[in-house]
A and B are shown apart, each in its own frame.
Chain A
Amino acid sequence: MNGQMAQTLSFGLSGVSGFPVQVEVFSAGGMPGMEIIGLPDASVRESKERVNAAIINSGREIPPRRMTINLAPADTRKEGPSFDLPIAVGILAACGQLNLSPSVDLTRTVLFGELGLDGRIQPVNGALSMVISASEQGLRDVILPADNAMEVACIQGMRIYPAKHLSEVIGHLEGAHPLSYQAQQDYSVLLSRPEEGGMDLKDVRGQAGARRALEVAAAGGHNMLMIGAPGSGKTMLARCLPGILPPLTFSESLETTRIHSIAGRLAPGAGLMVQRPFCAPHHSASVASLVGGGASAKPGEVSLAHNGVLFLDEMPEFSRAALEALRQPLEDGVVSISRVRHQAKYQSFFMLVAGMNPCPCGYYGSRQRECRCSPVQIRHYLDQVSGPLLDRIDIQVEVDSVPVSEIRNAPASESSAAVRGRVNKAREIQQKRYRGTRIHCNAQLDNKGIQAYCRMAPEAESMLHLAVDRMRLSMRAYHRVIKVARTIADLNGAETIGLADVAEAIQYRELDAKYWGK
């Protein structure tokens, strides 16, 4: 018997983008067997066992022939089980077991999905990236796992066929039981859904100073450092931050969801992300888990926090190398990871929120308990946080614990929604001001930007100079104060930075002198 060929189309992943993969199946006489070539990794190579069982459990059979499966381009590594479905369909086609309906063109239909032994189709990582790439290639038809369908529902101009079982795919391709394609969804529909979970600021009692600092940080996208005794509420405050930030825009959501999809962090059946991500890696985190890496250059926490919040609790406990590695993403908003076999660039524009104790025992300056640390111990502890990193944090605030009796009596606080209203307004002002530039928010202003956009009233300027002198502010702190004052003025709806704006901003900078000053 002569050889038979079949070809199906799938997508592989490289960094955040997908690339087309031709799955060629050649069936020939000879010793029965199956070989997958084209730089497959272990999970792709194991695919043949899954495919075998899945085909049998879908009511078809594999004739005893020699099967060669090539994943082209042959010089790029292929990873993950998403090629199961195109391989299975290719084999059926090559063995003449598939009576293709005339309306189906296998070379123009994107297939991906992992197969279970029973023929069920499981969700895969990176579906969003693959579909975006397919759309860029001008492809329209995609058959994918039903659990990935919501994720790609907002991509316009595509015909997405969600499938749950291999037999459904076969039925569709043969025209016997065509699958119905999913209705396209508009992002605004997602936005209008009630938000779920997360912390609300109305549950935070007391902490007037820290709440205000959080509002200013959110309004200007400023990085923030909270210092306070254990149990003073640093983590709780940080968790409230995503709730007062403006929701993700469509393009931001695509960027962030893509990264989460590739990292396998999306729940099955989840759609595009609407709320900003909040990542809180433990302080034992390695450099690779923070900025990304591993053999296949996976995204790290900084990229998962893209367009959202990265919260580092107990910052001095993080390894020095891990903290230093944060500097590039903080500066550029992107991390480049290079491994021998993979290079990837992941966006990582996030708000850094750091929490730390003021000393090893945690009670330096606290009213609740006496600190038992020596001055040298305190200094060593604080010095774990390097100056360059500290310089990238605009807002510093001390959080003092609220006594239980006061928590009980405190009136209910303002809700996150109310604060978000003000934050949104301030952000809109910034968007208007920075239209046509690469700046999104005040935190991104560099020295040139400060010159251009931060006009100060004369009395504000003279007071700032006085403050630099009296409160021992460094030159770097000086610029940070102006940026934060810009945000406070935006919150007040003022174009010129006034005396009060600067005076308040100074309060968010005094820890330099108090803790790190000399």
Chain B
Amino acid sequence: MSTYSRNACLAWLASAGLTPSETEALLRENPDPVSLYREWTGGKRPEAAQGLSGKLQEMLTHNSAAKWMDAWENVMRKCEIQAVTFQDAAYPDRLRPLGDAPAVLFYQGNLSAVSDGLAVSMVGSRSASSRGLEATTKIAKKLSQEGIRIISGLAYGIDAAAHQGCLKGGSPTVAVLGCGLDQDYPAENAGLKREILARGGAVISEYAPGDKPLGWHFPFRNRIISGLGDCIILMEARIRSGSMTTVQHALEQGKDVFVYPGDPESIKCEGNRQLLREGAIYFTTAEDLMEDMRWLDKKNVVGQNSVDSGEEAEASMTPDEKRVWKALEGEDRGFDELCGITGFPAAQLNVTLSMLQIRNLVRALPGKRYQRNQLE
């Protein structure tokens, strides 16, 4: 019998179909997964495995396990996937108090990014409004600049914006996946994932390499996202959504829940409204959050709020640009609306908008709407 690496044996164990606590109990008895594998596939079946289905039982015999093991060996080496168990010292301390903490955790990148220092979980909808995305990036960036890491789920929308914001601010960020770490899911965020790893962050999952992104993985995975943060931020969510389950996990774990107000009209923020009514913490800026979490002394906060770089930009504008800039104060507007307010014909308005866009002062939203850019 060939010997397999500890990593591959842990992948096998994570795929055995046991609950996290059953797996944890097994590992407590026998902390060496390699010998656990050898015994089990050799015929010495632990008690916890009695109730498993036929297919899983079959997989756990030596012959059929072997072909999986080779695949795991390969993919874990190729994708540089490591594994830690609850018993290991490297296991993130924040997850230990969780009742259903994963017994085995797979990771890529720098695992210490998961445990060191302060961390905030940021969640929200995949199809978020442009305003919500912008606010997410801004808040994440600010927190990151203060050395606070962002935990999120690498999905489209708010998740991606949160990771990106954190990277811009310079702190490492952690993505928790609902599938094996070798899977490129979602495919469009593969580049973001590489960037997270390149910038000293980590990507973690309780699912073994090769596990597909199945629908039921995600709500379950969300307990890790909420568990890894010192508090949690909800940016934008419908009432029936994964983000709301994350908030639920956070409440069970006793974490503070910060909710961004969002657009009071939009259906995309109905979850925000419900949580705020139920007493979640209202916040609009990173400074609000740091103040409430007592991560910042007050003097600093006040100083931050009074900065307004809009005036400086305004000084360099032509009269036409100023007129459009004024019209965009406080809210985004449609092209026709701007025509009406400024009195410019379409051609002239087009010219002015182009100039403002090129100077990064204004940006275009889908639906021929325009918005002031948040000034850095």
| Chain A bound to chain B | yes
A residues engaging B (CB < 8 A)? 206-209, 211-212, 228-229, 358, 364-367, 370-371, 373-376, 379, 397-400, 402, 406, 463, 466-467, 470-471, 488, 500, 502-504, 506-507, 510, 514-515, 518
B229 to chain A, nearest CB (A): 24
| In the complex, B365 has a CB within 8 A of chain A | yes
In this complex, what residue of A is CB-closest to B191?
A: A518
**Residue among A212, A371, A470 making CB contact with B357, cutoff 8 Å:** A470
CB pair A466 B156 closer than 8 Å: no
Q: Tell me the complex Cα distance, A412–B355, Å.
A: 30
A206 partner residues in chain B, CB cutoff 8 A:
336
B368 partner residues in chain A, CB cutoff 8 A:
209, 397-400
**Residue among A400, A503, A518 making CB contact with B350, cutoff 8 Å:** A503
**Residue among A367, A374, A463 making CB contact with B367, cutoff 8 Å:** A367
| In the complex, B239 has a CB within 8 A of chain A | no
Interface readout for B327-355 with A: 1 if CB under 8 Å, 0 if not? 00000001110010000011101111111
CB pair A212 B346 closer than 8 Å: yes
A500 partner residues in chain B, CB cutoff 8 A:
347, 351
Q: Tell me the complex Cα distance, A463–B345, Å.
A: 22
CB pair A400 B335 closer than 8 Å: yes
B268 partner residues in chain A, CB cutoff 8 A:
370
CB pair A514 B366 closer than 8 Å: yes
Interface residues of B in 142-189 (CB under 8 A from A): 156-157, 186, 188
| Further contacts, 19 of them, CB under 8 A, given A208-B349, A209-B336, A466-B358 | A206-B336, A208-B345, A211-B346, A358-B366, A365-B367, A367-B367, A370-B267, A397-B368, A399-B368, A400-B335, A400-B369, A467-B358, A470-B357, A470-B360, A503-B351, A503-B355, A504-B350, A507-B353, A515-B366
Q: Tell me the complex Cα distance, A353–B247, Å.
A: 48
| In the complex, B27 has a CB within 8 A of chain A | no
A293 to chain B, nearest CB (A): 38
A229 partner residues in chain B, CB cutoff 8 A:
367
B365 partner residues in chain A, CB cutoff 8 A:
365
Interface residues of B in 17-46 (CB under 8 A from A): none
**Residue among B156, B266, B351, B354 making CB contact with A375, cutoff 8 Å:** B156
Q: Tell me the complex Cα distance, A229–B368, Å.
A: 11
A463 partner residues in chain B, CB cutoff 8 A:
358
Q: Which of under 10, 10 to 19, 20 to 34, or 35 or more describes the interface residues of B?
A: 20 to 34
B residues engaging A (CB < 8 A)? 126-127, 156-157, 186, 188, 266-268, 334-336, 339, 345-347, 349-355, 357-360, 364-369
A505 to chain B, nearest CB (A): 8
Q: Tell me the complex Cα distance, A402–B352, Å.
A: 22
19 contacts between A and B (CB under 8 A): A206-B336, A208-B336, A209-B336, A358-B367, A370-B267, A375-B156, A400-B367, A400-B369, A402-B336, A467-B354, A467-B357, A470-B360, A488-B347, A500-B347, A503-B355, A506-B354, A506-B358, A507-B350, A510-B364
B103 to chain A, nearest CB (A): 33
A400 partner residues in chain B, CB cutoff 8 A:
334-336, 367-369
Q: Tell me the complex Cα distance, A370–B334, Å.
A: 16
B345 partner residues in chain A, CB cutoff 8 A:
208, 212
Q: Tell me the complex Cα distance, A126–B267, Å.
A: 59
Q: Tell me the complex Cα distance, A119–B355, Å.
A: 72
B50 to chain A, nearest CB (A): 41
In this complex, what residue of A is CB-closest to B267?
A: A370
Q: Tell me the complex Cα distance, A406–B334, Å.
A: 13
B126 partner residues in chain A, CB cutoff 8 A:
374-375
**Residue among B266, B336, B352, B366 making CB contact with A364, cutoff 8 Å:** B366
CB pair A507 B336 closer than 8 Å: no
A376 to chain B, nearest CB (A): 8
B351 partner residues in chain A, CB cutoff 8 A:
500, 503-504
A504 partner residues in chain B, CB cutoff 8 A:
347, 350-351, 354
